[in-house]
Amino acid sequence: MRRFAVAVMIALLARPVAAAEVEDATGRKVIPDKIERVMAAGPPASVVLYVLAPDKMIGWTAAPRPNEKPLLLPSVRELPELGRLTGRGDTANVEVVLKAKPDLILDFGTVNPTYVSLAQRVQEQTGVPYLLFDGRLSSTARSIRQVGAALGVRERAELIARYVEDTDALLDAGLKDIPPPARHRVYLARGADGLETGLSGSINTEIIERAGGVNVAERGGGRAGIATVSLEQVVAWAPDTIVTGDVNFLHASAANPAWAAVPALASKRVYLAPRLPFGWIDQPPSINRTIGLRWIAGLLYPDRFPQDIRSAARTFIKLFYQTDPDDAALDRILAGEAPGGHGR
């Protein structure tokens, strides 16, 4: 996701004085009257909204699954599923927006002409403010502060932004003198067969590069994004590490002789990423990836990141999701228990 962006579309809280002007990542400006009811345009925005201002949520793009709910605040667990306006498989439309009656639509995702056009079109058709903020990993802390200011939750946003900045500082210190030839070559295996992946620069694989890995799925001169590849191509790329969010692939690849030619299988460096209540790699590619950065860096370079990932996960969940998982819940999270699909 290096060149992708996270778009957060928001409006300001009603105040006794005139509302301040809000400018999004595209330069569009809105002066909203109030912000009490917020609709997320896509799964990444749902995470941002939940983390920063759960009391303003009016629904989820996808309803939480049973094993996700205990890790979320009781006040939002049963909110309705509204669908998504953005990305593949969009299920919401103008009628859904009008029926939900939000004060604003918030999106946290890619900034490109497609998403800019969507924001303009939906706002024109519904009259609901729809703002867009840059959400690349490099811009996350700044964007979170902007969203927090717009939503009237500056203090909460500052706590999250500082955690993001602390993670960046930790990575910079640990990775600063590792030359490119010494960095691990990583393949992201998506789906049960492991042959869907994110090309370099993709919103789904930006995290690999930021954590010090080399994404073997080079996009060349083409467009970054999700791609389907062949096993022969994976063998040719020769990744020494594979990260997956699919337990079916984890088991199938270990039992399939054809995958044995991949160095990561030979060295038993295939890792199942945690996904509860939101994914640590993507699914969706939002601020939930912050803990994933620490996790991947520790897998790739344990001598430089000698962390207790269990303790780190508990701290992250308490801060970001505002729940306190017990030991059994942490076991399920770190084992990679699957919640069902999320993603942009």
* Per-residue pLDDT reduced to its tens digit, 65-93: 999 999 999 999 999 999 998 876 667 68
3-state DSSP call for residue 107?
Answer: strand
Q: Encoding tokens for residue 194?
A: 């492991």
d(CA 228, CA 191): 10
d(CA 66, CA 222): 40
Same domain membership, residue 134 and residue 40: yes
The residue out of 130, 148, 168 marking a domain boundary is 168
d(CA 103, CA 322): 25
User: Considering the domain boundaries, does residue 11 fall inside one?
Assistant: no
Provide the pLDDT for residue 244. 95
Amino acid letter at 275? R
Name every residue whose Cβ is closer than 8 Å to that of residue 251 and which is 6 or more positions away in sequence.
Answer: none
Same domain membership, residue 309 and residue 264: yes
User: Considering the domain boundaries, does residue 14 fall inside one?
Assistant: no
Provide the pLDDT for residue 287. 96
User: Considering the domain boundaries, does residue 173 fall inside one?
Assistant: no
Same domain membership, residue 238 and residue 132: no
Provide the pLDDT for residue 32. 58
User: Considering the domain boundaries, does residue 53 fall inside one?
Assistant: yes
Provide the pLDDT for residue 134. 81
Give me the residues of the chain with pLDDT under 70, please. Answer: 1-20, 22, 28-33, 88-90, 92, 221-223, 340-344
Longest dimension (CA), the chain: 68
Nearest to residue 22, comparing CAs of 85, 106, 96? 106
Same domain membership, residue 184 and residue 322: yes
CA distances from 166 to 72, 232, 304 (A): 24, 40, 16
Give the chain's count of helices (H) and strands (E).
Answer: 13, 11
3-state DSSP call for residue 270?
Answer: strand
Domain housing 253: 179-334
